Amino acid sequence: MKSNNAAPGYSLFHPRWYRPRVSTYWWLHQWSYLKFVLRELSSIFVALFVVITLLQLRALSHGPQAYADFQKWMKSPAVIALNAVSFVFVLFHVVTWFHLAPRAMAVRFAGKRVPELLIVGANYAAWVAISVVVAWFLRGG
Amino acid sequence: MAHQVPILRRPVHRGSVGMAETIKLEVARYSPERDAAPRFETFQVPLRKEWVVLDALNYIKDRLDGSLTFRWSCRMGICGSCGMMVNGEPKLTCATFLADYAPAPVRVEPLRYFPIVRDLVIEMTDFLRKLRAMKPWIIRKEEKSLPEGEYLQTPQQLDSYKQYSMCINCMLCYAACPVYGLDPLFSGPAAIALAQRYNLDSRDEGANERFPILSQHEGIWACTFVGECTEVCPKHVDPAGAIQRYKLTAAKEWFKSLLLPWGVR
């Protein structure tokens, strides 16, 4: 925000307005703002999960030795800690975005707007269904 | 006559003003002639069950300090003039009850992110300019002639934009939006919601004229979906929803312009 240093002095037609500055820590002043910043930050951890999956695929393509090394790396305490933090952020990411979904989609059915809860519920249902499919694959393998 | 005592005592008890029946109001004051920055002044006002913050401000102006400056008009949540920060939250002061905050003091400040003219009065030209840029009126390629009659609309067509038409231009959504605070060029929640109000109106044919204003960075794309505009809206307009939905529309238009040959667009 521009400061009002250049503002003219008070006169009848040019009142001297006070222009408040936005604090650098505006996101700490309100829980809803902090939640927003954490939600934005969570995308970094989502990306991290994607990178780890890509590394896993790379290790897989490089043969059994490379994959064993990858698994050993995954078991190191630092990586476990990082993954634990990432997991919490990814969960936060999922939940916050699921709850924002009905705001971004105005789904209409038979002339009426589909209730918000139903859209959120559908997202959760899809999440559970896909997780079951993944679990089924893992158990099969 | 001992039996009369309870009857006599009652009015005496009611008439006394104890500490419990007043509330402190910390009001932001700014005089452009005298102050370099806003300061707070504390007033003690009666705490009545049916009193809203605006009643307390009017009490101050009438009885304690006639120089207190603030905007208000209808007292019933439809004019959109009395928006202020109450304990850090954007509120219509005519719909914010003192009793909900008692016994703690209530802090009243001018709407956040706007320049302050005096005390609780903000400068709103920026919002009005942005609203006007959205062409918030029905645009027709060709007006129907009078004998052809009125433009008809089904209840379902009305329903698709009615929510956005409830906006009273109170600017609480701007005071809730950190994006507007950090990037003053952002068109802002209400202006975009009102553009959508006309875009979604079956009688309107101006969506193409509003597209370039809405789809620029300072339009919808500056919005990071904090969602607070919708939370504070006293008329349940849901500006955050309007912006996200238009993002989808703009993305679709962009794809169309990429895929379709010139003539078909």
Interface pTM, i.e. ipTM:
0.80
Q: For residue B52, what is the DSSP state?
A: B
Checking if the pLDDT of B206 tops 80, the result is: yes
The SS3 of residue B77 is coil
Report the pLDDT value the prediction gives residue A14, as an integer from 0 to 100: 58
- The answer to whether B78 and B168 have CB atoms below 8 angstroms apart is yes
Say what angle helices A64-74 and A31-61 make with each other, to 10 degrees: 150
Residue B155 CA: distances (Å) to CA of A112, B101, B152, B167, B199: 11, 41, 10, 19, 17
User: How would you classify the pairing of strands B106-109 and B22-29?
Assistant: parallel
Mean pLDDT of B217-230: 94
Per-residue burial over B244-255, b = 16 or more CB atoms within 10 Å of its CB, e = otherwise: bbbbebbeeeee
Name which of B255, B196, B256, B199 is nearest B220 in CA terms: B196
Mean pLDDT of B53-68: 98
CB atoms within 10 A of CB B157: 14
Say what angle helices A116-140 and A77-104 make with each other, to 10 degrees: 140
The SS3 of residue A30 is coil
Checking if the pLDDT of B260 tops 90, the result is: no
- Tokens for B154, please give them: 């089904």
| The model's pTM | 0.85
**Residue B41 backbone phi and psi in degrees, to 5:** -125, 135
Domain residue spans of chain A = 27-140
Alpha-carbon span B256 to B41, nearest angstrom: 57
| Inter-chain residue contact B115 with A19, CB threshold 8 Å | yes
Residue B4 banded pLDDT, cuts 50, 70, 90 = very low
Nearest to A18 among B37, B178, B241 (CB): B37
Residue to mutate among A1, A2, A18, with most B CBs inside 10 A, is: A18
- Tokens for B221, please give them: 């794309």
In angstroms, what separates the C-alpha of B233 from chain A's closest C-alpha?
A: 14
Residue to mutate among B125, B174, B185, B226, with most A CBs inside 10 A, is: B226
Residue A96 CA: distances (Å) to CA of A68, B25, B79: 36, 36, 34
Nearest to A16 among B32, B240, B244 (CB): B32
Give the residue, B160 or A114, on which the prediction is more confident.
B160
A contacts of B240 (beta carbons < 8 Å) = 103
| Inter-chain residue contact A17 with B116, CB threshold 8 Å | yes
Report the pLDDT value the prediction gives residue B259, as an integer from 0 to 100: 86
Residue B178 banded pLDDT, cuts 50, 70, 90 = very high
Q: CA nearest B244 in A: which residue?
A: A104
Checking if the pLDDT of B59 tops 80, the result is: yes
Q: CA nearest B243 in A: which residue?
A: A104
Residue to mutate among A12, A19, A103, A108, with most B CBs inside 10 A, is: A103
| Inter-chain residue contact B113 with A27, CB threshold 8 Å | no
Report the pLDDT value the prediction gives residue A12, as an integer from 0 to 100: 56
CATH topology of domain A27-140: 3 helical TM bundles of succinate and fumarate reductases (1.20.1300)
Report the pLDDT value the prediction gives residue B60, as an integer from 0 to 100: 98
Mean pLDDT of B239-259: 91
- The answer to whether B204 and B158 have CB atoms below 8 angstroms apart is no
Report the pLDDT value the prediction gives residue A141, as an integer from 0 to 100: 59
Alpha-carbon span B136 to B125, nearest angstrom: 16
Report the pLDDT value the prediction gives residue A116, as an integer from 0 to 100: 85
A10 in reach of chain B (CB within 8 A): yes
Domain B125-264 has CATH 1.10.1060.10: yes
Domain residue spans of chain B = 12-122, 125-264
Report the pLDDT value the prediction gives residue A108, as an integer from 0 to 100: 75
Checking if the pLDDT of B7 tops 60, the result is: no
**Pick from B27-36, B116-125, B254-263: least confident:** B254-263
Series of mean pLDDT values for 10-residue runs along chain A (141 residues): 46 73 93 94 94 94 94 94 94 90 78 83 94 91 59
Report the pLDDT value the prediction gives residue A11, as an integer from 0 to 100: 52
Rg (CA), chain B: 24
- Mark which residues 56-95 of A lie under 8 Å from B by CB: none
Domain B12-122 has CATH 3.40.50.10490: no
